[in-house]
Amino acid sequence: MPYINESLSNGEKIEALFKLHWFTRVPLVFWIILGIPTLGLTLFIALYEFLRLKNIEQGVTNKRVIFKTGIISRKTSEMTLKSIETVEIDQGIFGRLFGFGDIKVTGRGISDVVFKGLADPMSAKRQIESVSNPVL
């Protein structure tokens, strides 16, 4: 069961799950192709990269934003919606051309939650803001 589903509290529901852009899989393809001349030695790196990408979960519920990584171990960054101060988009040249980017959610204090390699960062920003600042 995915971490986000597993960690829902009473009355909490998932508003959106953020997908990784295909561009985040370029290193995986590189390691697979490099496996041919190296007689498969880089396929272990490719397997690690595949598992690393597969185990990234990012989303927003009606109570918090969640970013989870880890293959065997688990590391999460979470922030309640009440704590959110700003939602920023970081897109470089390639991000603008290919439609991917990062979202940085800044909260009170020193905590930040960063979603990396999102397929549609503008849509993710709108979804976070619409849940954290509902129209009355």
Quote the distance between the C-alpha of residue 110 and its chain's center.
20
Report pLDDT for 31.
Answer: 95
Q: Are 128 and 60 in contact (CB under 8 A)?
A: yes
Helix (H) or strand (E) holding 92, with range, is none
Report pLDDT for 91.
Answer: 96
Report pLDDT for 68.
Answer: 97
Report pLDDT for 135.
Answer: 62
Query: Rounded mean pLDDT of the chain?
Result: 93
Q: Are 109 and 129 in contact (CB under 8 A)?
A: no
Q: What is the pLDDT of residues 118-130, one digit of tens each?
A: 999 999 999 999 9
Q: Where are the beta strands (DSSP E) in 43-132?
A: 57-61, 64-69, 75-80, 84-90, 101-107, 112-118
* pTM for the predicted model, two decimal places: 0.88
Q: What is the pLDDT of residues 46-92, one digit of tens each?
A: 999 999 999 999 999 999 999 999 999 999 999 999 999 999 999 99
Burial of 67 (0-12, 13-18, 19+ CB in 10 A): buried
CATH code of the domain made up of 55-132 = 2.30.29.30
CA–CA dist 11, 100 (Å, integer): 32
Report pLDDT for 104.
Answer: 96
Report pLDDT for 6.
Answer: 94
Report pLDDT for 27.
Answer: 95
pLDDT tops 80 at residue 1:
no
